[in-house]
Structure formats: structure tokens, C-alpha cells
Structure 1
Amino acid sequence: MTDPQADRVVALEEWKERWQENRIGFHQLHVHEMLKNNINNVLAGRTGVRFFFPLCGKAVDMKWLADMGHSVVGVEISEKGIKQFFEENNLTYSEEPVPAIPGAKVYKSSEKNISLYQCDLYSFSSSIEGRFGAIWDRGSLVAINPKDREKYATLMMSLMDKECRYLLLTFLYNPELYKGPPFFVPNEQVHSLFGDSCDIELLQSVDGLTEKHRGWGLDYLTENAHLIRPKSN
């Protein structure tokens, strides 16, 4: 079956417009249940883990992890989303340019170990902030343009340290019925993207269908949580 979403493109400007117009139905007011349910698998007994949040938005999960003593680095194209994160969580922050990424800014919390980069995700690299011990990908792989998935996976793997545990959320539904985003990402594609250099485990699979999704025309929606770890040499 050819993927009916394969050629779908959402420009960065469209994401910025969504934030400006407050069309951010993807934002959740509470810490994601799949993160809470699987946090022990991600931490694996470690403390002070450095978490990377691709396309972080203003996810409350970032403060939740920082409150537990972990550090967070996020990347988000919307300056409004980043500022709202700090303001809504009553965190003071500083703002400075990022010399290595023209036009980019980094916003840093004064109270918590949280740094959010306002830039195109593909401008970010391990040369900016090193590698990470964990990645929480709640709505990033499912939001990027499907044609960019290999480039995206390469970036994520380049940001993983050898102990990294990458928790990835994907959606299964009939892509003939809804054009996305969030996009349909089959388990087979997760394995084709990451399987050569990483071990992949399906930690949790839940029925995620809500009235909102029925409104999109969907008759089923499954949320899958995958744990991705670099293969030990």
C-alpha cells in the first residue's frame, strides 16, 4: 500500500501560525500518561538525566522532569510557545542568541535546568548541546513531514549518548481517512528508521481514539510507546 500521506508537507510558517492563532490542540495540560507509565524504563535507575525534547512546544512534561532533578533541552520553532512555557509555569528566564545557528535564540530558566532553543529542528546538532541520556518524542516524529523521516531519525540518533533511552510515541490509524498531522507511523517504519543501529521495544500500546479523532473521520487510533536504545557494541 502506498502511503496516502507520503507527500504531505506542513511548512514551518504554518506551525508558527497555529501558535499565533492558538490552534494548538496537540498541547496537553497534564503530564502525558505514557511518559508517567514508562518513566522507570526511560530512567533505568539513573538520576540527573539530560532529556532532549524535539518540537517541545510548551509541554508541561519538561517542568515535571526538571522538578525531579533532570535537565531539559528543547527545540521549538514558535517563540510564543517557548515564552508561554516559562510564563505559565511561573519560571523566570533569560534570552540570548545562539552564535552557531544564525537567527536562533535560546531561552534559559533561572530556577530550573531547562534550555529551549527557538530554531528549525534540523539546524540543531550535538555540537550545540552535546548528546543526551534520554529523548521524549511525544509529538515530533508524528508531526514532521513524512518525507523527512530518515533525516529526522539520523538527527535523533546523532543526539543519543551510548546510554540513551529514547521514548517515542507513534499513532496507528487509517491514513486514507485523515491527512495529518499527526501522521500515521507504522511500527515497521520505526524499525526501518532506527533498527540498524538501535534496539527497539514496544513498551505500551493503547486505544487512543477520542471524540476529537472521530471528528477527524477516524474509526480507530492506537498509540504506541517504543523504547529505542543504541545497540551495545
Structure 2
Amino acid sequence: MEGSTAETNTSTAIKQDKVVAKAEWIMKWEQKNICFHQQHVHRLLENYVDLLLNNRTNLRIFFPLCGKAVDMKWLADMGHSITGVDVSEIGLKDFFTEQNISYVEEQVSDIPGAKVFKSLSGNISLYCCSIYDMCRVADKFDCIWDRGALVAINPCDRERYANVLSSLMGREFRYLLVTVSYDHTKHSGPPFYVPDVEVDKLFGTFCCIKHLEKVDAFKERHQKWGLDYFYENIYLLTPKPSLN
């Protein structure tokens, strides 16, 4: 992994068998227990957006497990097309309401029970369904911004998640991935600890992976979890030359 300065604990040494059910995530939104939501554009996205866009315009950008991330409007206002997915209808509707964006609601014929919320301008489409169904309705994307998605996926589902994302990556994709690191013996997640060796295991066969930065993200709530430190790691993933 190029430029990696992240922790290098082997994934086999980390016991993460906790599973968070879909109903639990939906309940978090119902109870407004959404400390993972940020009120402002994520600082790492602001710092590395040029690497994500790579001097390109009118891009198709994918937000896995998007919630009501304000980052979506920020990139849409730059002229890009945004597609997000989340299991919580509350979060998706809140996004449009809080950002003062008019939208329409439609059923998704290819996914039973799924809905899509589309801005009237046509540049934002947010799907309410499982991310594992997105390959049935989505085209290829130029960019992926993954902050809070991989770290929320149950560890037992990570390989499946990586396979779905790989199926959605366009020919010249750029993928900014944010993971978290902390003392996993003191907190079982979510967010789940994802070491850099796990990132390489999941994406290294088809991506070049560059670790960009490790930043201190420790907050009071992490102290309440019994932690002494909490870091965010950001990686840039790009196609391996052999795939072009």
C-alpha cells in the first residue's frame, strides 16, 4: 500500500463479530441518535476534493450509506451528479428538507419495496434500499466518497460490500475512503475499526491504494466509549494500470 502510515495490525488479530441489524440503523434515525452525522462538509473531503475530482467536470459521484450528508449538496453545487443510498428514509428526506431542495418520490421497479428520492433539478438521486441492491439500478460512477460507510458495514459483510463497490466503479474511478482506528479491545463498534491491511485485502486486487493522511478525530463521545484515542485515515483508491 503506497504511502501508508496507518496502523498495521493484522485483521486476524481483531475479533469483530458484532452485527448491527437494519432495524437498529433505522431506529437510530427515528431516535435521532445520529452522532455520526456532521453538520458541515467533512474536512478531509475539503482537503482532498481535488484528488477526487482530478480536474474533471460533470462527474457521477456515489455516496454509500449517505444519510443526510451535507457533502452531497456541496458537490452537487459544483455541477456534479450525486447518487446516494441508505436504509433510512428519514435521513434521505431530511437531506432534501434541510438543504431546501424540492424533490419527488418514486418507487424503484427493479428493487421490491425500494424508493428513490430525486431532486427536481435531476442532479441528486437518493435510494432507500440496501446498498447490496444498487448494482441492479445504478450505472458506473466516476467517484466514490466513503465516509462512514465501510466502517458501518458489519465486518462479516465487508467482502460483499467491496464487490458491490467494484461493480459500480467506472473506468477512471477515484475513490476516497475514510476509515477509523482506535483500541478495538475497548470498543466493538460501530464505527468498526478497519486497519490498513484490511483495506488492502478488500480492494488491493483491483485498486492502487494510497494512504493520504491520519488525523486526530477524538471527541468527548469517544472518551465515553472508554477510548483514549480515535483517528480517521483517508485513502485514495484508483484503478490498477492493468485494468485500463
Segment of structure 1 superposing worse, 127-136 or 22-31: 127-136
Q: Contact conserved, 1:66 with 1:112, CA < 8 A, in 2?
A: no
**1:149-207: CA deviation from partner (whole Å, max 9, x where unpaired):** 01111111111011110000001111110111000000010001100111000111111
TM-score, normalised via structure 1 length: 0.97
Separation of aligned partners in 1, 2:68 and 2:105: 16
1:124 alignment partner, SS class: helix
Separation of aligned partners in 1, 2:58 and 2:227: 40
1:218 maps onto 2:218 in alignment: no
Structure 2 partner of 1:147: 156
**Number of residue pairs aligned between Structure 1 and Structure 2:** 231
Structure 1 partner of 2:175: 166
Instruction: In structure 2, give the amino acid aligned to 1:151.
Output: R
Structure 1 partner of 2:8: none
Equivalence map 1:54-203=2 (5 Å)? 54-111=64-121, 113-125=123-135, 127-203=136-212
Separation of aligned partners in 2, 1:211 and 1:20: 23
**1:73-109: CA deviation from partner (whole Å, max 9, x where unpaired):** 0001011111100000001100111111010011000
Report the Cα offset of residue 112 of structure 1. 5.4
Q: Contact conserved, 1:141 with 1:170, CA < 8 A, in 2?
A: yes
Report the Cα offset of residue 4 of structure 1. 2.7
Q: Which runs of 4+ in 1 moved over 6 A?
A: none
Separation of aligned partners in 2, 1:232 and 1:50: 21
Report the Cα offset of residue 111 of structure 1. 3.0
Instruction: In structure 2, give the amino acid aligned to 1:51.
Output: I
1:52 maps onto 2:53 in alignment: no
TM-score, normalised via structure 2 length: 0.93
Q: Contact conserved, 1:198 with 1:228, CA < 8 A, in 2?
A: yes
Structure 1 partner of 2:214: 205
Instruction: In structure 2, give the amino acid aligned to 1:172.
Output: S
- Identity percentage of aligned residues: 54
1:226 alignment partner, SS class: strand
**1:3-35: CA deviation from partner (whole Å, max 9, x where unpaired):** 232x11000000000001110110000000000
Instruction: In structure 1, give the amino acid aligned to 2:187.
Output: Y
